[in-house]
Structure 1
């Protein structure tokens, strides 16, 4: 009989793996089938039922409150990243025995959606202002509803589990009622006030913007040095006589709004006289300029002064009380321009003197306010100078540089002709710098003082102070992000919550026409809330004011406010209509959003909740980074580097995307692209093959085969110990919310500890030992445990694959997502055994390296052809001599040779007495190859009935 025929004869006696779990995942097709199956079996309802049972049994409740995305387009990769992390965390807590309810939500109001509807109007040649407000709001509502439905479906396709039928939306009537009720809380406690202050303003969108709605891009600005002639010199010895204070600005359009010049008491200043200037310079000889001493040389260089003399040097304190004239005096700007001390003035650039336009700068505004200087509202909401502005009426501020400079030059010429101090344009240039833009229109914004509604940060309610105190008890992941949020809260101005738009929840308050005081009446506010509950915020537009004011007030005495509330206030209020319900904690255990939300949702939620309830709405904050392409570039359609989650779902599967998320350092910015996703596909296949190997090895397994821990070989006990170590890492992640590195660790366990080591060793026992053999039963006992553990631990991430691997063994009626993480006996954790096996594996690596060398040199073709002479010292023999090294290194024969007195080659000894013994020696094994197990043994042929088999295989086939 030839060898091939002998092998064929015994093929059916080998216990080869068998499983319905395919090698190829086919995820793009399989995942929708699993989603449909979950719907068919009512998995969400079953999860809910289990939560109810756990709540009744007193289990811990875990609540992750969902930050609402905007309902205005298909999901992008950032959405997928964030929701997948949330889903992994929620699933992990649920499978860890906790009560978990996840209520997904949407932000449906405000400029993003309103802007899309306006775009549709513009394309159709319609003007938004000509459309009735209720019709416009209805169109916004329908638009948001459509995208909410689309995004919900796309999130579910990603495998995100939640109460999708019970989602929240800020445009729900109940939500709108709660939002206006929250506004009322600030109204009634006195924190809400109407005031005039510069805010970020979009001339394109004609509304105030929050800091979170701003992004910075490079922008080319005209820069000018402008001379303000001194009109009143109160310095000692009148050192400013005939001089001009010079400012530098990157916003020439603000010159018409100038009301003061700021200096710093701690800066030294000089008055210089011009002796010579370049031909190109606007500067004239004998002109006297007031500038900071430290900036004199750079100033002269920039404005073309080639020679100058210093007339006076003095401290900034000397400037107190001095007054300049506006460079446009005589042209409708005939008012004093006082010199005022301001700590914000520095010598980093410019002249050490700062032009103050209180309508267009925060520092300017507060300095002028402190000196009772009024604020002139010169710029309209579209960015155009008002008709009342001399010289510049009707000009857009972004087109004002030329006319502003022309008028300054004209002022210079007039002053020169009249023999007056230098006035107007000293020099002009340009600069490319980072400038704020609206993140929706991508257009530059301005600071503009307009009457707005604010929430005070530092009044009697002490919201800022209380918010900072509340953050001391909040856990931050990663820890270093704490400083980011606290510094933002510490330095932020009062919260501007009003927007000049139409789609949203109105700031539903009344203002007395005569006193201009806001009406603070709890009964009025309650009537508004009750109306909103039934009719939504549209009630504010459809009802007469008397409906809300009641009989106690005359509606004719009040103005009804129609500004809408900032969407960040709305999303910051979501805790009020989501948390604290049945099985939902307040404060939430966790808020988890992108790193940009420190200036957005994290902060608005904190300020809103502290202002109304005195506590933070969250116990912990987790922040994830942004997604970049493979080269670290921001994704954009123009670069063609956008990775859409829908495309990944359709080509590779959602589980690949989920694996990418959890294999990444989500605390930092992440990268994604075809090559990175291909790498994730490779990692996925290894994990899938691990599951497939387990399922194949467990074919026909029953509980009757199981062995107790005490009867397991040491190798199996080592595997169980490793499971306890993996479990500890997962439990720590659940406790701390720090998941970075957890699933790479689990992949390494599967690939290195299992596939490359344990499976490799036990393959022979599983395939060739008899069914009742204790070694085989022990291996299958551990495979059973491994399958249960890995399916459970992978389920939060590979939610589809884990379900498939569970169903392949237990049937489709069972779901891994109704299982808990396994509870591992403390007995399995054996540090002493683990330390011993670290050494065993180290010796094994040395031996397998020699085997590979022998294979490359042609000594053997496969490891089972090898015989090994393995030398040990006395100590090594005592430690490692009892192991079946032929089994461990997968060869046919191992002879152990103890070399008395030799130095150890594999362990560290305190005293090395002799020479080290020889390394492993590889030779060709003697005997014949067993036709069933392929080991080369001298005993092959001893059985007359089965002369082609070794004695073990004879026993099995007999």
Structure 2
């Protein structure tokens, strides 16, 4: 610059904004939370009139610990659903809730008792329940603040709790509907039982872990066989030796090929001897005999299924001294489809009190009077069982007791075993105590899924199962569709629902049974609407503790019944029944519920196909006659960066609180938006760094807009019809995006929404449109071009901030307030702006796609020159662009292509591509020959032009001279 040339920097329209590049989210976010609470954003949204309600019903988390990353993922997805639907014009309500009853909380209070040397059973049940309530209340308050810190919007002042008195009253009422409609019954059947927690468990409360079990091969002698079978024994194999004392049958499958095998020789130590005859499945005979140390055997002949039918065995313990005839009953051979020849012997030891298939075999034959009751609630053999009384399968800590080894020792003594071993396999454990469970026959209360529901709501079917299956297919949309298949198959094959738990903290099964009556008797259960009404009214006023109060039985039965003739049930309901009933006391009963008691969306993890989705469906099909939801959205599990499950022992857990402290909640939310939540997701330090980088790029885009809009007023606004082509192309892209964003949010595709907006912001805007228009924005005077560009920036600001607000509520609030400050201003009070359909211009979009294709070759050619240090900036260039396609060449001539390529000059040519021309393989019909720009550098805009220095203002080009006036 010459000495006399002025410094024109202050004459430029440089960006002006206080919007910082460094977000400082951990510090700033709590300020916005306080602001939203102060101005009452959630309540003000509810005041908007004439909107169609949209309700996401919250699957209740459990009130017993700090949030983990799965909670953060879950609640963030829910928040994005709620916020996006609100901004699409709905009245999107969100009532957060908590599951407060059940074993985990009861377990914590018991632990506190044990630490003080106290026994739970010595404490008054109401006092115990009140301690459980207080414990849950404490965690509800903690988790509420942790959820709010993540930016989750909702009715936090009035959440739902399953332990609220009204909730407990409604849960009891919903249970009593099952009582009255005929689906409730008491049955004695094997259920999964936790010896540690001393209660029945539902399938949803079970997880599977590797476990080492004993394996034994046990021969049963025939009592009524003839011929060569008279001296033979049929061999079973089991991994639960402790169930042998409860054996009542041996099952076979008519489709399996069986043979009679004779032992010819054995090793020196063997529980078999030459001449022994055994019945085995042909596919398993060699393995079984090998396990019993048989070195040589002969297959004597086939054994047909019709030979097995009608045969009766003796129990291996039959006739033992000291047993007093306990096992001297017949053990029939029965056929069963569940028997396979994949492992074992092809014959199945059948103890109907300790196995689901075994029970079904006996139920089918109406043999339930042969059920055994040999094992108690601590998995101990009961006092009436010879030899084994008091021995446990698992002890109070879930470790193996003495039952298995004692049974094996007795079998050896009785000559009733031919082999033993150990096997590691997947085994059911309680998801709370992590201890192994057993199948145990106990009297429990069930809801039948196949009895006709006597309520007249038969549109979806007459039974709970048919209603559920029809709801799945006819009433519900599944996101992703695989969720439908998973739940459908579960419902299709599930057994009756075990409703009862032998615990204290929960809603009791509010029913009475007649003393001395059998469960099959018509008057076994008391069904009286007036009794039910008294119970519900008491629970509404006092909570479920009323069931345990002195004189409760007499109070509820009233004067019409003799209390001495009835027994009050003190089991509590499965907590899944509690949460399955939430549609009644949240959606149906609350002012912010729904008119029909049906939610628009349930959204939970894949584990809830057997949990909340499942129990809500069954419960509602029993009381409403249909599913309580219209859409079911499912997310996967969160893994570490290497795809491993998170665990404290591995040290790979990511705690939401730590992420929020380091990065801010918006970064955690952005991670959710960038991931495909329908599959398992990964998170870790490196992934979060990548997310933070995406955030910075997006923030930079927003900052550029704000800087260029600092003094924009409505007087500067330009009509789209008067805008240059480049601005109208941006409007076209906005119209395209508007459709994509709305469709994506409506279909819960946050990854698709964010990716589209992010690519638009970084590729179409920052790397293209902003890059081109910086010159006009900074250097033009009050020109139509600059006014049009700033109008487009205003339209971009309004749309990008609202479109991204459901994902990044804190950052978009900051971006919004930078332009629209005010005590009551908030982006979260806005809707997505309506985008005119006539902004769409497909021919214009096609034209600019062709221009950008050519531009890519030019910018790549200039980058080579920059890398070689021939030029420092693209404005030093004046390339010659050779284009073979004459139509494209004519398109290029209709715009200032030098401006588009950010060069000082540019020549378009239809001449053949010179050999030295730069080309890109994917754009073979375009070649660029580099030339340096001629002229002097304008000291204001930095373009190199021939006319610089020939105007009134020294060192300027014509455009800058005009801008300076």
TM-score (norm. length: structure 1): 0.95
Alignment correspondent of 1:876 = 888
Structure 1 residue corresponding to 2:363, chosen from 369, 384, 393: 369
1:84 equivalent to 2:76? Answer yes
CA distance in 2, matches of 1:264, 1:626: 40
Alignment correspondent of 2:964 = 957
| Counterparts of residues 682-697 of structure 1 (less than 5 Å) | 682-697=693-708
Structure 1 position 452, deviation (Å): 0.3
CA distance in 2, matches of 1:736, 1:584: 22
Q: Cα RMSD (Å) of the superposition?
A: 1.9
1:783 equivalent to 2:784? Answer no
CA distance in 2, matches of 1:281, 1:723: 82
Question: What are the superposed Cα offsets for residues 798-834 of structure 1, whole Å, 9 maximum, x if unpaired?
Answer: 0000001100111042100000001100011112211
Aligned to 1:222, the other structure's residue is in SS state strand
CA distance in 1, matches of 2:598, 2:135: 32
1:898 equivalent to 2:910? Answer yes
CA contact (8 A) 1:245 1:289 kept: yes
Aligned to 2:332, the other structure's residue is in SS state strand
CA contact (8 A) 2:882 2:912 kept: no
The answer to which of 786-795 and 278-287 deviates more is 278-287
Alignment correspondent of 1:557 = 565
Alignment correspondent of 2:340 = 346
Change (3 A) 1:543 1:126: closer
CA contact (8 A) 2:235 2:279 kept: yes
Aligned to 2:418, the other structure's residue is in SS state strand
| Counterparts of residues 550-589 of structure 1 (less than 5 Å) | 550-580=558-588, 581-585=590-594, 586-589=597-600
CA distance in 2, matches of 1:268, 1:737: 53
1:742 equivalent to 2:740? Answer no
Alignment correspondent of 2:685 = 674
1:148 equivalent to 2:148? Answer no
CA contact (8 A) 1:197 1:450 kept: yes
CA contact (8 A) 1:468 1:486 kept: yes
1:404 equivalent to 2:407? Answer yes
The answer to which of 884-893 and 567-576 deviates more is 884-893
Structure 1 position 861, deviation (Å): 1.7
CA contact (8 A) 2:188 2:443 kept: yes
Structure 1 position 299, deviation (Å): 1.9
Alignment correspondent of 1:238 = 227
| Counterparts of residues 130-529 of structure 1 (less than 5 Å) | 130-233=122-225, 238-331=227-320, 332=323, 333-371=327-365, 372=367, 374-397=370-393, 398-399=400-401, 400-412=403-415, 424-461=416-453, 462-473=463-474, 474-516=476-518, 517-529=524-536
Structure 1 position 539, deviation (Å): 0.3
> Aligned pairs, how many?
927
CA contact (8 A) 1:504 1:565 kept: yes
Structure 1 position 76, deviation (Å): 0.9
Aligned to 2:855, the other structure's residue is in SS state helix
Structure 1 position 583, deviation (Å): 4.9
Gaps of 5+ in 1: 413-423, 909-915
Change (3 A) 1:955 1:303: same
Aligned to 2:113, the other structure's residue is in SS state helix
CA distance in 2, matches of 1:857, 1:147: 64
Aligned to 1:470, the other structure's residue is in SS state helix
CA distance in 1, matches of 2:529, 2:750: 46
| Counterparts of residues 833-848 of structure 1 (less than 5 Å) | 833-848=844-859
CA distance in 2, matches of 1:695, 1:603: 49
CA contact (8 A) 1:876 1:907 kept: no
Change (3 A) 1:906 1:613: farther
CA contact (8 A) 2:857 2:919 kept: no
Alignment correspondent of 1:533 = 540
Question: What are the superposed Cα offsets for residues 428-471 of structure 1, whole Å, 9 maximum, x if unpaired?
Answer: 11111111111111100011110000000111221111110111
Alignment correspondent of 2:899 = 887
Aligned to 1:220, the other structure's residue is in SS state strand
Structure 1 position 572, deviation (Å): 0.2
CA contact (8 A) 1:263 1:352 kept: yes
Structure 1 position 892, deviation (Å): 0.7
Structure 1 position 917, deviation (Å): 7.7
1:106 equivalent to 2:135? Answer no
Structure 2 residue corresponding to 1:922, chosen from 917, 924, 930: 930
1:618 equivalent to 2:621? Answer no
CA distance in 1, matches of 2:547, 2:645: 42
CA distance in 2, matches of 1:35, 1:747: 25
CA contact (8 A) 1:182 1:612 kept: yes
CA distance in 1, matches of 2:822, 2:926: 56
Gaps of 5+ in 2: 394-399, 454-462, 519-523
Aligned to 1:947, the other structure's residue is in SS state coil
CA contact (8 A) 2:602 2:631 kept: yes
CA distance in 2, matches of 1:89, 1:852: 43
CA distance in 1, matches of 2:297, 2:913: 93
Question: What are the superposed Cα offsets for residues 676-709 of structure 1, whole Å, 9 maximum, x if unpaired?
Answer: 1111111111111111111011110011111111
Aligned to 2:439, the other structure's residue is in SS state strand
Aligned to 2:772, the other structure's residue is in SS state helix
Structure 1 position 923, deviation (Å): 1.5
CA contact (8 A) 1:209 1:499 kept: yes
Alignment correspondent of 1:418 = none
CA contact (8 A) 2:45 2:91 kept: no
Alignment correspondent of 1:419 = none
Alignment correspondent of 1:30 = 28
CA distance in 2, matches of 1:942, 1:750: 39
Alignment correspondent of 1:420 = none
CA distance in 1, matches of 2:16, 2:749: 38
CA distance in 2, matches of 1:563, 1:940: 93
CA contact (8 A) 1:61 1:584 kept: no
CA distance in 2, matches of 1:269, 1:39: 75
CA contact (8 A) 2:199 2:503 kept: yes
CA contact (8 A) 1:293 1:313 kept: no
Structure 1 position 239, deviation (Å): 4.0
1:810 equivalent to 2:804? Answer no
The answer to which of 360-369 and 441-450 deviates more is 360-369
Change (3 A) 1:434 1:307: same
Structure 2 residue corresponding to 1:947, chosen from 945, 951, 954: 954
